[in-house]
Amino acid sequence: MSNEGHDSRETSTKVVGVRRLKEAMAKPASTRIFTVANQKGGVGKTTTTVNIAAALSMGGLRVLVIDLDPQGNASTALGVPHRDNAGIYEVLMGSAEIQTVIAKVAGFPVLDCIPSNTSLANAEINLVSMVARELQLKEALETISMNYDYIFIDCPPSLGLLTVNAFAAAKELLIPIQTEYYALEGLSQLLETYSVVKKRLNPTINLSTILLTMFDGRTRLANDVAANVRQHFPNELIDIPIPRAVRVSEAPSYNQTVMTYDPLSPGAIAYMQVAREIAERGKAKEEVIFDSNVVSINYKKDGEIA
Ligand SMILES: Nc1ncnc2c1ncn2[C@@H]1O[C@H](COP(=O)(O)OP(=O)(O)OP(=O)(O)O)[C@@H](O)[C@H]1O
Ligand SMILES: [Mg+2]
C-alpha cells in the first residue's frame, strides 16, 4: 500500500468523521512491530491490541492490526468483515498476497486490519508440513511493514505455530497481564517460548512492554499482583493500569473500540494514556547536532597569567 492510497482515503473519510487527537503522538524512528501474547485466555490481549491501535491511529500514526486468532475477535471489534473473506490464513498458506487482504477500519485516519477467518483454525495443522513454517508471517510482513508506524499482532491463547509466527515476525513483545489470582501462572512458559524464539528464530525480539489489565485498585489482590510484576519487570511495566470498566467490554458488540464507543470513559482514557506512553517510549531520538557556537570556552583575558 502506498502513501498515496492513504492520502486519498483521508480526504474521503473526513466526510464521515475521522477521529483525530489535537495533540499528535510521537512517530517512531522505524516501524514498531508488536506481538501481543499471553497463552492464558481472556486476559485482555485483543482488547489491548485494538484499543492501543485505535488510539495511536487517532494520534496521527499509521497503524495495522493483524488478527492472528481464529476466534476473529480483533476483526469483530474493528468492524472488519472476516468470516467469508480471505485473510491472514491465506497469506500464511501462500495462496493470497498480503496486500490483497488488508481492510480499512472506518472512522480512523490510518487504521488497517488483516482479518482472520474460520480457516485459520486449520493453520496450526497445515503449517506443520511447510518449509520455513515459522517464518511465513515475517516474510509476508516484510513487503508492507514500511507503510506503517505501528503493527500489532493479536495472538490466540496458545503457544502454537501461529504464536511462534508472530514472535518471529515481531520486534517487540507486549504481554497483557490480568491482575487476578493465577495472573503470573503460565508466565514462565510464555517467557520460555520467548527466549527459545529469541535464540533460534528472532534474536532482536525484545520484551518491551507489560500492561496490567482489568485492574481493580480497591482489591488487595490486584495491588499485590501489580507490585509483584513491577518488582520483576520495572522497566517493561507501564505504570498506568487499565481499569476493569464496563464500557470496554461493551464496545466489541457494537463492532467498535472503546476509543470511539465511549472516548471519555475511564477505560478509553486509560488506553489513550497507555498508547501515548508507548509512543513516547519508542519515539525517534532527536539527533544531537554539535553546535560550535554554544560551547563555552574560557579564554584568558589579556595579561592574565595562564
Ligand atoms: N478493562 C476491561 N474491563 C472490562 N472488561 C474487559 C476489559 N478488558 C477486557 N475485558 C473483557 O474481558 C474479556 C476478555 O478480553 P479479551 O478478549 O481482550 O482477552 P483475550 O486475552 O484476547 O482473550 P482470548 O485469550 O480468548 O483471545 C472480553 O469479554 C473483554 O470484553
Ligand atoms: Mg483475543
Grid cell locating 287: 539527533
Q: Which ligand is nearest to the CA of 186?
A: 1
Question: Which of 47, 50, 273 is the best mutation target for the ligand 1 pocket, counting ligand atoms within 8 Å of the beta carbon and taking the most?
Answer: 47
**15 exposed, middle or buried (CB, 10 Å; 0-12, 13-18, 19+)?**
exposed
Cα of 98 vs centre of ligand 1, distance in Å, is 28
Asked if 180 contacts 225 with a C-beta cutoff of 8 angstroms, the reply is yes
Cα of 244 vs centre of ligand 1, distance in Å, is 10
- Separation CA 101–CA 122 (nearest Å): 18
0.95 exceeded by pTM: no
- Protein residue with its CA nearest to atom 31 in ligand 1: 249
Grid cell locating 77: 471489534
Question: Which of 240, 242, 249, 265 is the best mutation target for the ligand 1 pocket, counting ligand atoms within 8 Å of the beta carbon and taking the most?
Answer: 249
Cα of 182 vs centre of ligand 2, distance in Å, is 18
- Separation CA 181–CA 201 (nearest Å): 33
Q: Is 213 in the pocket of ligand 1 (CB under 6 A)?
A: yes
Query: What residues pack around ion ligand 2 (CB closer than 5 A)?
Result: 45-46, 73
| Mean pLDDT in residue range 33-38 | 98
What is the domain partition of the chain in residue ranges? 3-294
How close are the terminal C-alpha atoms of the chain, in Å? 66
Cα of 172 vs centre of ligand 1, distance in Å, is 21
Mean pLDDT of the residues in the chain: 88
| Mean pLDDT in residue range 112-128 | 92
Q: What percent of the chain has pLDDT over 70?
A: 88
φ, ψ for residue 227, nearest 5 deg: -65, -40
pLDDT in tens, 180-203: 877 788 798 999 999 999 999 999
Among 72, 93, 174, which residue's Cα sits nearest to residue 137? Answer: 93
- Separation CA 169–CA 109 (nearest Å): 25
Size (the chain), residues = 306
Confidence band (pLDDT; 50, 70, 90) for 130? confident
Cα of 136 vs centre of ligand 1, distance in Å, is 28
Q: Which ligand is nearest to the CA of 45?
A: 1
Name the least confident of 8-22, 46-60, 169-183, 266-280. Answer: 8-22
Asked if 112 contacts 64 with a C-beta cutoff of 8 angstroms, the reply is yes
Grid cell locating 301: 583575558
Grid cell locating 78: 474493528
- Protein residue with its CA nearest to atom 20 in ligand 1: 42
CATH architecture, range 3-294: 3-Layer(aba) Sandwich (3.40)
Asked if 156 contacts 70 with a C-beta cutoff of 8 angstroms, the reply is yes
Q: Which ligand is nearest to the CA of 179?
A: 1
